[in-house]
Structure formats: C-alpha cells, structure tokens
Structure 1
Amino acid sequence: MTWLDDNSITLADLSQEDLDLWLTTNPTWRRDLKPFIRWAVARRLTSKVTIPTKKYGLPSRSLDTDELNQQLRRCLNDDTLPLEARIIGALTCLYALPTTRIVELTTDRFHRDGDDAYLTISKHPVLLPPRLAVLIERQITSPACRTSVLQQSHTGTPGFLFPGRPPSRPRSPQTVNHYMKLHGLPGVSARNTAMMEAITDLPPIVVSDLFGIHPHTAYAWDQYAQNSWAEYFEAVQSTD
C-alpha cells in the first residue's frame, strides 16, 4: 500500500502489470501478499489481479538475449523514437531498473569524469555507454528538464530527470509503462532478462549495491538463474 501511495496508484486502479512490477523487486513477499490480494478481489476493492504461482517466486515473463539486445540497440540508435523513451528503455535493458526507480532519478545523479560518464543508481556510480550518456545529457538540457531544475532549485532539491506535471513531481510509473508500450519498447519482460544477465555476470552483493535492490532479492535472482541454467543443461543433454 505504501508503494501504491508513493506512485499515485489507488487500490481500485491496481493493474496486473503494476502487481507484477512490484513483485519483480519484492519476490520474497509473494506468499504474504496472496491472502491480501484474494481478500481485496473478493470484496471488489481492486480488479481481478492474481499473484502467479512461480517456482522460486520470480516473474516468468522474459525475452531471449537476442530480443533484449535488439531492443537496446533500438533505444540507443533509433532517432525516430522520443528521447525520453530511448533513455528509459536503455536503462531497463542495461541495468534492469523498474519504472518506479527510473522515474525517481534526478539530474544530479548524472556526472562526467573526464571522458567517462556515470549515473548513480543507488549508492555507487555506474559507468554509462557513451551513446546513453549523450542521450541523458540531451535530456538534462531539454526545456522540460531545465524548468524542473529551475523550480526545484528554489527548494534546494535536485530536479527530476523525467519531470511530471507539475515538474516538482516525478512521472507516474503507470503513465510511463503505457508510454513505453505505445512505442513497443522494453517493459517487465526486458527487465527480467536484464536482471538474469546481470546476476549471471556479477555476484549478487555487487548487483544489490549497484542497482539498489535488497540483498535477499539479489540472492533470490541468483538462485533462480542457477536453477534455470541447470534445467537448460539438463534439457540439452536429454536431446543428445
């Protein structure tokens, strides 16, 4: 309920995508949340959303690696797409960020150090690909972002990278998700695949520190990745 309040979503407006998005970063709460969701649906306090039964308690929707890379290339290189959509899509594909985290990013989290550019997602700066750094710089200098920074400077707080209406508030994750769908760009499925890629390449504690997810969540993803690879190799061997 706190998450819904923070993202300006009422219980009555809760969608299956909103619920899936929350479960992506809070998989260990799946079992505890089921009774509440059943209670709310039975009393028509929310739509007929469900918590999917899933081994290891993690979302099942994903893309294959080629699809994820294709989406990333589109975000970085397709100048016909809106600038904001390209940045949000690239952050999803590269760093497995949920929409709720992306809309909270502020302009002061981006900085350059010589020829390198960094984005502080959680506690530690993450090195950005040069193409994405250029896109973020263009966004920061855009009229909407400058207005946000100017208004926020009066209160001593940094402006949002993706300002909403009014600019003192971030965009609604629900609005952003719909916006990305309109352009056929990455959503929950892409984020799940990106998290699998990250957890395969990096230790869970590093993923937790860089991307700002709870250590328990990172370890749950690690366990899920290990079991997924074991099932894959077992399937391959059975066909030999």
Structure 2
Amino acid sequence: METAPVWAVSNRHATGLSILPPSRLRPVEPLDSEQRAELAQRLLTDDSIRLEDRVAGLLVILFAQPLSTIVEIRADQVIRNDHNVHLLLANEPLHLPGQLGSLIQELVTARKSHAVIGRGSDNPWLFPGKNTLPEAPAQPRC
C-alpha cells in the first residue's frame, strides 16, 4: 500500500516533491552500567543542560521511565515531606535521594507554563511544554 505523498508524486499530482526512501535505523546498543553512571552524573551536575532535560534524562536513565510516562507527570506527584522528596509513579511514592530530589524540587518551583488559550497560567504538568492532555487527576503508572 502506498502512502498518499508517494501516490501523488508517482501519478504526477505533486510536482517538485521528492520522496526519500525510508530511513534504515541501525539498532542502538543499550548503555552499560558504567555509561549509565557517567551519564547520570553528568545530568546531576552539568548546569549547561536545561533543568527539564536533566530531570527527564535522569528519570529515563535511573528508573527506566518511558517518555510517554514522563510527559504525563503532574507537579502534584512530587511530594516533599521533612527533608525528603518523593515522586508518585506507582502506588507507592518513589524516594528521590540527594541531588535528584533537589533537581526535581527545583523543577517544580521553576517550571513555566506555555501560554495556552482558555487556561490560566497555573499549569499542572511537571513538564508543561505544549502538553494538551486533559487536566485529569494523576493516575500513576507502574
């Protein structure tokens, strides 16, 4: 089955377009423990990387969270009590030790909502971006 653009070009309905062949993605080797540790250390300490990218990267590297889960994390899933920071990702809060807890707490404090028509400036998402998901109560994933 051809895609619409391929059909349009082959039947001369779309002139001036060229269709590139599908990319051939090479399999990516998983990071070994040492590479993960080095990357985690860089994300924890390198202030030249955006805070949002550091926190998201750490959630991927340390807790194997898929991006589809990360973009659905709400700020109210970050729980701070006494001197501990937890992230509600499943039925039990996940303890975020040391600098990771500090980074995620900093993100909660510093996050800025993108302007969205019809919404106030108080965006519930930890990673607001251009998130268009409904503002339903958090439903943690395992």
TM-score normalised by length of structure 2 = 0.68
**Bigger RCO of structures 1 and 2 (CA < 8 A, at least 6 apart):** 1
Are 1:43 and 2:2 matched, yes or no?
yes
Change beyond 3 A, Cα 1:145–1:139: farther
What is the SS of the residue equivalent to 2:120?
Answer: helix
Which has the larger helix fraction? 1
Alignment partner, residue 60 of structure 2: 92
CA shift digits 1:103-122 (9 cap, x unpaired): 11000100112221100112
8 A contact 2:111–2:126 mirrored in 1: no
> Which structure 2 residues correspond to residues 169-188 of structure 1 after superposition, within 5 A?
169=132
**Structure 2: runs of 5+ lacking an equivalent:** 6-20, 134-139
Work out whether residues 145 and 161 of structure 1, in 8 Å CA contact, stay in contact via their aligned partners in 2: no
Give the distance between the partners of 1:83 and 1:118, measured in 2 at CA. 18
Aligned positions, number:
119
Deviations 1:188-239 (A, max 9, x none): xxxxxxxxxxxxxxxxxxxxxx961xxxxxxxxxxxxxxxxxxxxxxxxxxx
Residues 1:169 and 1:130: Cα distance change in structure 2 (over 3 Å): farther
Residue pair 1:95, 1:211 contacting (<8 A) in 2 also: no
Deviation (angstroms), 1:66: 0.6
| 1:41-80 equivalence runs, <5 A | 42-44=1-3, 48=22, 61-80=29-48
Percent pairwise identity = 27
Equivalent residue number for residue 10 of structure 1: none
Q: Contact between 1:110 and 1:118, CA under 8 Å: does it hold in 2?
A: yes
Q: By how many angstroms is 1:96 displaced? A: 0.1
Of residues 60, 70, 73 in structure 2, which corresponds to 1:102? 70
For the residue of structure 2 that corresponds to 1:144, the secondary structure is coil
Whole-angstrom distance in 1 between the partners of 2:29 and 2:4? 26
Q: Distance in 1 between matches of 2:98 and 2:124?
A: 23
Q: Does 1:83 align with 2:51?
A: yes
- TM score, norm. by length of structure 1: 0.42
How many Å apart are 1:146 and its aligned residue?
Answer: 9.8
TM-superposed CA distance for 1:139, in Å, is 1.2
Return the offset for 1:45. Answer: 6.5
Larger Rg: 2
What is the correspondence of 1:220-231 to structure 2 with a 5 Å cutoff?
A: none
Task: Say if 2:78 and 2:87, in contact at 8 Å, map to a contact too.
Answer: yes
Q: Does the 8 Å contact 1:107/1:140 carry over to 2?
A: yes
Asked whether the 8 Å contact 1:97–1:211 carries over to 2, the reply is: no
Tell me the SS of whatever aligns to 1:111.
strand
User: Where do 4+ consecutive residues of structure 1 move more than 3 Å?
Assistant: 45-50, 145-148
Unaligned stretches of 5+ residues in structure 1: 1-41, 53-58, 171-209, 213-240
| Partner-residue secondary structure (3-state), 1:141 | helix
1:139 aligns with 2:107: yes
Displacement of 1:44 after TM fit? 2.7
